[in-house]
Protein backbone atom coordinates (compact mmCIF):
# COMPACT_ATOMS: atom_id res chain seq x y z
CA UNK A 1 0.00 0.00 0.00
CA UNK A 2 1.38 3.38 -1.02
CA UNK A 3 0.94 5.69 1.95
CA UNK A 4 0.92 9.49 1.61
CA UNK A 5 4.39 11.03 1.59
CA UNK A 6 5.30 14.63 2.36
CA UNK A 7 8.34 16.39 0.92
CA UNK A 8 9.49 19.74 2.27
CA UNK A 9 12.01 21.23 -0.12
CA UNK A 10 11.36 20.40 -3.77
CA UNK A 11 14.42 21.93 -5.37
CA UNK A 12 16.65 19.99 -7.74
CA UNK A 13 16.80 16.83 -5.62
CA UNK A 14 13.52 17.02 -3.73
CA UNK A 15 11.62 17.90 -6.88
CA UNK A 16 13.12 14.95 -8.72
CA UNK A 17 12.17 12.62 -5.86
CA UNK A 18 8.63 13.99 -5.82
CA UNK A 19 8.26 13.54 -9.58
CA UNK A 20 9.51 9.96 -9.33
CA UNK A 21 7.05 9.08 -6.56
CA UNK A 22 4.14 10.73 -8.38
CA UNK A 23 4.95 8.79 -11.54
CA UNK A 24 4.92 5.58 -9.50
CA UNK A 25 1.48 6.35 -8.06
CA UNK A 26 2.39 7.55 -4.57
CA UNK A 27 0.22 10.26 -2.98
CA UNK A 28 2.68 13.15 -2.60
CA UNK A 29 2.30 16.34 -0.55
CA UNK A 30 4.83 19.13 -1.14
CA UNK A 31 5.92 22.39 0.43
CA UNK A 32 8.51 24.89 -0.75
CA UNK A 33 9.02 28.64 -0.76
CA UNK A 34 9.57 28.46 -4.54
CA UNK A 35 6.02 28.62 -5.89
CA UNK A 36 7.12 27.82 -9.43
CA UNK A 37 8.46 24.44 -8.30
CA UNK A 38 5.41 23.47 -6.28
CA UNK A 39 3.05 24.53 -9.06
CA UNK A 40 4.92 22.34 -11.54
CA UNK A 41 4.52 19.37 -9.20
CA UNK A 42 0.87 20.25 -8.60
CA UNK A 43 0.29 19.82 -12.33
CA UNK A 44 1.75 16.31 -11.96
CA UNK A 45 -0.69 15.46 -9.16
CA UNK A 46 1.02 16.64 -5.97
CA UNK A 47 -0.98 18.29 -3.21
CA UNK A 48 0.57 21.66 -2.35
CA UNK A 49 0.79 23.05 1.18
CA UNK A 50 1.93 26.45 2.39
CA UNK A 51 3.67 25.37 5.60
CA UNK A 52 5.71 22.37 6.74
CA UNK A 53 3.11 21.67 9.43
CA UNK A 54 0.36 21.41 6.82
CA UNK A 55 2.56 19.17 4.67
CA UNK A 56 3.30 16.85 7.62
CA UNK A 57 -0.26 16.42 8.81
CA UNK A 58 -1.60 13.02 7.82
CA UNK A 59 1.38 11.69 5.86
CA UNK A 60 3.05 8.42 6.79
CA UNK A 61 6.55 9.73 6.15
CA UNK A 62 7.96 13.23 5.80
CA UNK A 63 11.05 13.77 3.67
CA UNK A 64 13.07 16.86 4.57
CA UNK A 65 15.14 17.88 1.54
CA UNK A 66 16.42 21.39 2.22
CA UNK A 67 20.01 22.67 2.09
CA UNK A 68 21.47 23.15 5.55
CA UNK A 69 20.96 22.83 9.31
CA UNK A 70 19.27 26.22 9.85
CA UNK A 71 16.73 25.32 7.18
CA UNK A 72 16.10 21.92 8.78
CA UNK A 73 15.64 23.65 12.14
CA UNK A 74 13.04 25.99 10.62
CA UNK A 75 11.25 23.22 8.72
CA UNK A 76 10.93 21.02 11.79
CA UNK A 77 10.81 23.33 14.79
CA UNK A 78 10.24 26.86 13.54
CA UNK A 79 6.93 28.73 13.32
CA UNK A 80 4.50 26.44 11.44
CA UNK A 81 7.19 23.73 11.66
CA UNK A 82 6.42 20.12 10.86
CA UNK A 83 7.20 18.73 14.32
CA UNK A 84 4.07 20.29 15.80
CA UNK A 85 1.94 18.28 13.37
CA UNK A 86 3.81 14.97 13.67
CA UNK A 87 2.62 12.10 15.86
CA UNK A 88 4.00 8.68 16.85
CA UNK A 89 3.88 6.32 13.89
CA UNK A 90 4.95 8.98 11.42
CA UNK A 91 8.58 8.94 10.34
CA UNK A 92 10.97 11.61 9.13
CA UNK A 93 13.71 11.12 6.52
CA UNK A 94 16.49 13.67 6.90
CA UNK A 95 18.14 14.01 3.48
CA UNK A 96 20.28 17.19 3.62
CA UNK A 97 24.05 17.12 3.96
CA UNK A 98 24.56 18.59 7.43
CA UNK A 99 26.87 18.18 10.40
CA UNK A 100 26.48 14.80 12.16
CA UNK A 101 25.84 16.45 15.52
CA UNK A 102 22.96 18.42 14.00
CA UNK A 103 21.44 15.23 12.61
CA UNK A 104 21.75 13.62 16.04
CA UNK A 105 20.12 16.65 17.67
CA UNK A 106 17.18 16.75 15.26
CA UNK A 107 16.60 13.00 15.59
CA UNK A 108 16.69 13.18 19.39
CA UNK A 109 14.19 16.05 19.50
CA UNK A 110 11.79 14.18 17.24
CA UNK A 111 12.16 11.00 19.28
CA UNK A 112 11.11 12.91 22.40
CA UNK A 113 7.65 13.16 20.86
CA UNK A 114 7.66 9.58 19.62
CA UNK A 115 8.57 10.33 16.01
CA UNK A 116 11.39 8.27 14.48
CA UNK A 117 13.97 9.83 12.17
CA UNK A 118 16.12 8.12 9.57
CA UNK A 119 19.36 9.86 8.68
CA UNK A 120 19.16 9.48 4.89
CA UNK A 121 21.55 11.70 2.93
CA UNK A 122 21.58 11.16 -0.83
CA UNK A 123 24.16 11.32 -3.60
CA UNK A 124 24.06 11.31 -7.36
CA UNK A 125 22.38 14.49 -8.54
CA UNK A 126 18.90 15.32 -9.84
CA UNK A 127 18.95 13.05 -12.89
CA UNK A 128 19.76 10.03 -10.72
CA UNK A 129 17.17 11.07 -8.15
CA UNK A 130 14.61 11.19 -10.93
CA UNK A 131 15.43 7.74 -12.34
CA UNK A 132 15.99 6.06 -8.96
CA UNK A 133 19.71 5.39 -9.38
CA UNK A 134 20.96 7.82 -6.72
CA UNK A 135 22.51 6.48 -3.53
CA UNK A 136 20.75 6.71 -0.16
CA UNK A 137 22.83 6.29 3.00
CA UNK A 138 20.57 5.06 5.79
CA UNK A 139 21.28 5.35 9.50
CA UNK A 140 18.41 4.70 11.88
CA UNK A 141 16.55 2.07 13.83
CA UNK A 142 16.29 -1.11 11.71
CA UNK A 143 12.56 -1.42 12.35
CA UNK A 144 11.96 2.09 11.02
CA UNK A 145 14.04 1.45 7.90
CA UNK A 146 12.06 -1.75 7.37
CA UNK A 147 8.77 0.05 7.92
CA UNK A 148 9.65 2.51 5.15
CA UNK A 149 11.21 -0.12 2.91
CA UNK A 150 8.71 0.31 0.07
CA UNK A 151 9.18 4.07 0.02
CA UNK A 152 12.96 3.80 0.13
CA UNK A 153 12.95 1.22 -2.67
CA UNK A 154 10.74 3.52 -4.75
CA UNK A 155 13.23 6.34 -4.28
CA UNK A 156 16.43 4.42 -4.98
CA UNK A 157 17.81 1.12 -6.13
CA UNK A 158 21.04 1.88 -4.25
CA UNK A 159 20.26 1.70 -0.54
CA UNK A 160 23.21 1.49 1.84
CA UNK A 161 22.50 0.65 5.47
CA UNK A 162 25.20 2.41 7.43
CA UNK A 163 24.17 1.77 11.05
CA UNK A 164 21.33 2.10 13.51
CA UNK A 165 22.63 5.45 14.77
CA UNK A 166 21.38 8.71 13.20
CA UNK A 167 24.43 10.81 12.45
CA UNK A 168 26.39 8.01 10.79
CA UNK A 169 24.63 8.68 7.50
CA UNK A 170 25.79 12.29 7.73
CA UNK A 171 29.34 11.16 8.54
CA UNK A 172 29.36 8.83 5.54
CA UNK A 173 28.00 11.56 3.27
CA UNK A 174 30.70 13.98 4.37
CA UNK A 175 33.40 11.41 3.64
CA UNK A 176 31.88 10.83 0.21
CA UNK A 177 31.49 14.52 -0.57
CA UNK A 178 35.00 15.38 0.55
CA UNK A 179 36.27 12.88 -1.99
CA UNK A 180 33.83 14.21 -4.58
CA UNK A 181 35.15 17.71 -3.98
CA UNK A 182 38.77 16.58 -4.23
CA UNK A 183 38.02 14.68 -7.44
CA UNK A 184 36.19 17.63 -8.98
CA UNK A 185 38.94 20.10 -8.18
CA UNK A 186 41.45 17.63 -9.62
CA UNK A 187 39.42 17.16 -12.79
CA UNK A 188 39.03 20.90 -13.32
CA UNK A 189 42.76 21.41 -12.71
CA UNK A 190 43.65 18.69 -15.20
CA UNK A 191 41.33 20.06 -17.89
CA UNK A 192 42.60 23.61 -17.37
CA UNK A 193 46.14 22.28 -17.76
CA UNK A 194 45.19 20.37 -20.90
CA UNK A 195 43.83 23.55 -22.45
CA UNK A 196 46.94 25.52 -21.42
CA UNK A 197 49.08 22.84 -23.11
CA UNK A 198 47.12 23.29 -26.33
CA UNK A 199 45.25 19.99 -26.14
CA UNK A 200 41.67 19.52 -27.28
CA UNK A 201 39.66 19.34 -24.02
CA UNK A 202 36.96 17.05 -25.38
CA UNK A 203 39.42 14.52 -26.71
CA UNK A 204 41.46 14.70 -23.52
CA UNK A 205 38.42 14.10 -21.36
CA UNK A 206 37.34 11.17 -23.54
CA UNK A 207 40.77 9.61 -23.00
CA UNK A 208 40.64 10.22 -19.24
CA UNK A 209 37.21 8.59 -19.05
CA UNK A 210 38.76 5.35 -20.32
CA UNK A 211 41.96 5.63 -18.30
CA UNK A 212 43.32 5.80 -14.78
CA UNK A 213 42.31 9.43 -14.20
CA UNK A 214 38.58 8.77 -14.55
CA UNK A 215 36.10 9.83 -11.88
CA UNK A 216 32.33 10.01 -12.17
CA UNK A 217 32.02 13.57 -10.91
CA UNK A 218 34.96 14.70 -13.05
CA UNK A 219 33.40 13.29 -16.20
CA UNK A 220 29.91 14.54 -15.40
CA UNK A 221 30.97 18.10 -14.59
CA UNK A 222 33.75 18.56 -17.12
CA UNK A 223 31.54 17.41 -20.00
CA UNK A 224 29.19 20.26 -19.11
CA UNK A 225 32.01 22.73 -18.50
CA UNK A 226 33.63 22.09 -21.87
CA UNK A 227 30.25 22.68 -23.50
CA UNK A 228 29.90 25.96 -21.58
CA UNK A 229 26.86 24.68 -19.67
CA UNK A 230 26.91 26.07 -16.13
CA UNK A 231 23.19 25.91 -15.43
CA UNK A 232 23.12 24.84 -11.77
CA UNK A 233 22.25 21.22 -11.06
CA UNK A 234 24.48 21.43 -7.98
CA UNK A 235 25.36 24.98 -6.96
CA UNK A 236 28.97 25.79 -6.21
CA UNK A 237 27.91 26.67 -2.67
CA UNK A 238 26.94 23.07 -1.90
CA UNK A 239 30.41 21.53 -2.17
CA UNK A 240 31.84 24.61 -0.44
CA UNK A 241 29.52 23.81 2.47
CA UNK A 242 30.05 20.06 2.34
CA UNK A 243 33.85 20.18 2.21
CA UNK A 244 33.81 22.71 5.08
CA UNK A 245 31.62 20.40 7.17
CA UNK A 246 33.87 17.45 6.33
CA UNK A 247 36.93 19.38 7.52
CA UNK A 248 35.12 20.28 10.74
CA UNK A 249 34.25 16.62 11.32
CA UNK A 250 37.85 15.65 10.59
CA UNK A 251 39.18 18.22 13.06
CA UNK A 252 36.78 16.98 15.73
CA UNK A 253 38.13 13.46 15.17
CA UNK A 254 41.75 14.64 15.31
CA UNK A 255 42.40 13.93 11.64
CA UNK A 256 44.13 16.14 9.08
CA UNK A 257 44.70 15.10 5.48
CA UNK A 258 46.68 16.82 2.73
CA UNK A 259 43.96 17.43 0.11
CA UNK A 260 40.65 18.28 1.76
CA UNK A 261 41.65 21.77 2.87
CA UNK A 262 42.98 22.60 -0.60
CA UNK A 263 39.74 21.42 -2.21
CA UNK A 264 37.63 23.45 0.20
CA UNK A 265 39.76 26.55 -0.38
CA UNK A 266 39.17 26.19 -4.12
CA UNK A 267 35.38 26.05 -3.72
CA UNK A 268 35.51 29.00 -1.32
CA UNK A 269 37.57 31.00 -3.83
CA UNK A 270 35.06 30.18 -6.57
CA UNK A 271 32.16 31.39 -4.42
CA UNK A 272 34.01 34.55 -3.46
CA UNK A 273 34.87 35.09 -7.13
CA UNK A 274 31.27 35.36 -8.27
CA UNK A 275 30.60 31.72 -9.24
CA UNK A 276 28.41 30.80 -6.24
CA UNK A 277 25.19 30.79 -8.28
CA UNK A 278 26.59 28.55 -11.03
CA UNK A 279 26.95 24.80 -11.27
CA UNK A 280 30.08 23.50 -9.58
CA UNK A 281 31.33 22.59 -13.08
CA UNK A 282 32.28 26.28 -13.22
CA UNK A 283 35.45 25.36 -11.34
CA UNK A 284 36.94 25.02 -14.82
CA UNK A 285 36.26 28.71 -15.41
CA UNK A 286 38.03 29.55 -12.18
CA UNK A 287 41.10 27.42 -12.92
CA UNK A 288 41.39 28.72 -16.46
CA UNK A 289 42.29 32.08 -14.93
CA UNK A 290 45.92 32.69 -14.03
CA UNK A 291 46.53 33.04 -10.29
CA UNK A 292 47.73 36.49 -9.28
CA UNK A 293 51.36 36.67 -8.27
CA UNK A 294 51.99 36.80 -4.50
CA UNK A 295 51.65 40.39 -3.34
CA UNK A 296 50.19 41.38 -6.69
Q: Show which residues are catalytic.
A: 173
> Would you mind telling me the total number of residues written for the chain in this entry?
296
In contact, 93 and 62? CB cutoff 8 Å:
yes
For residue 262, the Cα-to-chain-centroid distance in whole angstroms is 21
Q: Is the dihedral of CA 282, 157, 168, 6 positive or negative?
A: positive
Rounded Cα–Cα distance for residues 1 and 163 (Å): 27
Nearest Cα to Cα of residue 167 among 144, 143, 138: 138
Q: How far apart are CA 19 and CA 23, in angstroms?
A: 6
Please state at what angle helix 168-196 crosses helix 201-209, rounded to 10 degrees: 140
Q: Helices marked H in the chain — which ranges?
A: 12-23, 35-43, 52-56, 69-77, 100-112, 126-131, 142-147, 149-155, 168-196, 201-209, 216-226, 236-252, 260-270, 283-288
Amino acid sequence: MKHPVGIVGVGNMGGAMAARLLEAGWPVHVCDIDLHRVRALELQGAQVHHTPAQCAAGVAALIVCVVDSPQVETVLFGPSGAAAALAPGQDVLLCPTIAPQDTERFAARLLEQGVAAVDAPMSGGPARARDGSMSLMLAGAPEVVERRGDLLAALSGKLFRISGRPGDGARTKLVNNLLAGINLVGAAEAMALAERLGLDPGRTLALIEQSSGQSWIGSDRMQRAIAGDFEPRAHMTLLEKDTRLALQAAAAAGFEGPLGAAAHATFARACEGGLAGLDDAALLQLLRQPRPAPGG
